[in-house]
Amino acid sequence: MKLLVVASALVLAVAGAAAWVHESEPDWYLRTRYPLEYAHIVRGHARNHGLDPALLAAVVYTESRFDPNARSAAGAVGLMQLLPNTAKGIALRTGGTRFVVADLRDPEINVRYGSWYLDHLLERYGDTRLALAAYHAGQGNVDRWQEEGRGIAFHELGDRAPAKVA
């Protein structure tokens, strides 16, 4: 089980580092040092949903390290680690008439669904940290944490206390 706190911090750190490096290093160096796999897919869907492409790429990197065949212990699949039920809901909400789990291994479909979902969460929560928490831990968890007046909390493996980000 991945830690939400670590994942959220990594996503924000990668996005922040990308912005800093982008301003301080020449483009040829950046392309060599930090190749963006599936760049046309990430940039295209970021543009379609008004997302920062660096944020979308950071989510893909954090979730799968750009491995389209990644599968989590929880059953999340593909580049953006979408659960099949979540992806099926996205497919239906965006005009699809059928859904096949194997399609989640297709980078274009996976990033299309994942970018739609991230955009949906950003609109719902109005806050990048909460949207990233909901993306990783689920909307139900984030909603419960908010109802309880807690910050982002996600239990680590084993019997450790929950990690919190206020």
Give the tokens for residue 99: 């859904």
Q: Catalytic annotation on 25?
A: no
Rounded distance, CA 155 to CA 20, Å?
31
φ and ψ at 140, to 5 degrees?
A: -60, -40
Burial class of 83 by CB neighbour count within 10 A (0 to 12, 13 to 18, 19+): middle
Catalytic-role residue among 23, 37, 63, 123 = 63
- Note the Cα 62 to chain centre separation in Å: 7
Residue 71 main-chain phi, psi, to 5 deg: -145, 130
Alpha helix (H) ranges present in 25-149? 27-33, 39-49, 53-64, 84-93, 107-125, 128-137, 139-147
Dihedrals φ, ψ of 69, to 5°? -100, 10
Q: What is the largest CA-CA distance in the chain?
A: 48
Which residues are known catalytic residues? Answer: 63
